[in-house]
Amino acid sequence: MNFLALERWSPYAAGAGIGLLSCIAFLLSDKPIGCSTAFARTSGMIEKLFRGNKVNEKPYYQKFLPVVDWEWMLVLGIILGAFISAKLSGQFRLEWIPGLWAGAVGTSVFPRFIVALIGGVIMGFGARWAGGCTSGHGISGTLQLAVSSWIAACCFFIGGIATAMFLFKLLFKG
Amino acid sequence: MFKTLHEKKGLQLFIGFLIGIGFGFCLQKGGVTNYDVIIGQLLFTDHTVVKIMLTAMLVGMIGVHILKSKGLANLHPKPGSLGTSVIGSLIFGVGFGTLGYCPGTVAGAAAQGNLDAIFGGIVGILIGAGIFAALFPKLRKGILQRGDFGDLTFPRLLKVNPWIIVAPVAVMVLCLLYWIEQTGL
């Protein structure tokens, strides 16, 4: 069982594992793997804590009820699975600043926090606008040969590459 | 034969949870729960993300189409329009490049202790999803419907047997992976 404690698997092994899990999801649950809807549902649940059942009247939450569903449990599972994996290889540690960021910007927490927060807001907004994310469109959608997902996957990377290049080649260097 | 299983609600939540554990494990072991690996991909210095996504897509595409041809799986392609698939995905990409995680890997990054993923990424995504829910009534009648093409797949668009598309796409993916390996990235 040594391979479970490795720090890294070959990307082909990790990818094949995800591909097999996709097949299992279709077979056992009749569902494609996806993540971003769970965030929308959670957002609705949190809003309900403050505004009560009025939130259920919002057209978006009538489409995506703010309740725990299959995909929500999947995201909960991701957290546990990644935690187990990191623990087994001794990689779990609390850390604010990733290495690449530290090299380009520095090690103070506030800039990284703010940029991550802004990035998260834009991505959460974009994921719901696009109707999926890197797993729902990028893997599950492309493997079904869905036209919407192939367009989405290309645009995810066009937007991502342009933004990362702008940040790391221009802004952080200036 | 799995129809009755699909209808068992509680059991389904548990299956989703188990598949999630496997998914999170693979993401972490593959290294894509790391900011450096994802940003490295967007800067073309590390091709781990593309290798994992293409391999997952290849294995899943062949597997799911085999299941489908045996009557064991149904496809659920997402509907789309130029307004959603192009504009929404470009917005997503800007967030992706800024945050350095995606909605799945941010959960994995949080679980391995990355505080920027928890307090920045996850909180941000929840806020962003909430903003979209608030604007949805205004957006849905306008831009989201521009160039609507529904839940179209390439085999249906070209009116061919799915395997006519699956086979060349599989070859293309293998060639692309081989080329990435050859160029030493």
Tell me the per-residue pLDDT of B18-62, one tens digit each, with 9 for 90 and over: 999 999 999 999 999 999 999 999 999 999 999 999 999 999 999
- Predicted local confidence at residue B2, as pLDDT: 86
Q: What is the mean pLDDT of each run of 10 residues along chain A (174 residues)?
A: 90 98 97 96 95 92 95 98 97 96 96 98 97 96 97 98 97 83
Q: How far apart are CA B31 and CA B36, in angstroms?
A: 9
Confidence of residue B107 (pLDDT cuts 50, 70, 90): very high
Inform me whether the pLDDT recorded for B127 exceeds 70.
yes
Q: Which of A130, A128, A122 is nearest to B124 (CA)?
A: A122
Q: Check residue A164 and give its pLDDT.
A: 98
What pLDDT, on the 0 to 100 scale, is given for residue B1?
Answer: 59
- Residue B185 pLDDT > 70: no
Query: What percentage of chain B has pLDDT greater than the value 70?
Result: 99
Chains A, B: CB contacts within 8 A come to: 542
Residue B160 has pLDDT above 70, yes or no: yes
Phi, psi of A52 (to 5 degrees): 70, -155
Give the three-state DSSP class for B150. strand
How many Cβ atoms are within 10 Å of A3's Cβ, its own excluded? 9
Burial of B139 (0-12, 13-18, 19+ CB in 10 A): middle
Contact A163 B20 (CB under 8 A): no
Within 38-77 of B, beta carbons closer than 8 Å to A belong to 39-40, 42-44, 48, 51-61, 63-64, 67, 72-77
Which DSSP symbol is given to A107?
Answer: S
Percent of chain B with pLDDT over 90: 92
The answer to whether the beta carbons of residues B124 and A141 sit under 8 Å apart is no
What's the pLDDT at B140?
Answer: 86
User: Which residues on A lie below 8 Å from B132 (Cβ)?
Assistant: 40, 60, 124-125, 128-129
HSE (CB half, 13 Å, CA atoms) of B170? 14
ipTM of predicted complex: 0.96
Q: What is the pLDDT of residue B83?
A: 93
CB contact (8 A) between residue A139 and residue B27: no
How sure is the predictor about B154, in pLDDT bands with cuts at 50, 70 and 90?
very high
- As a whole number, mean pLDDT of residues B65-77 equals 96
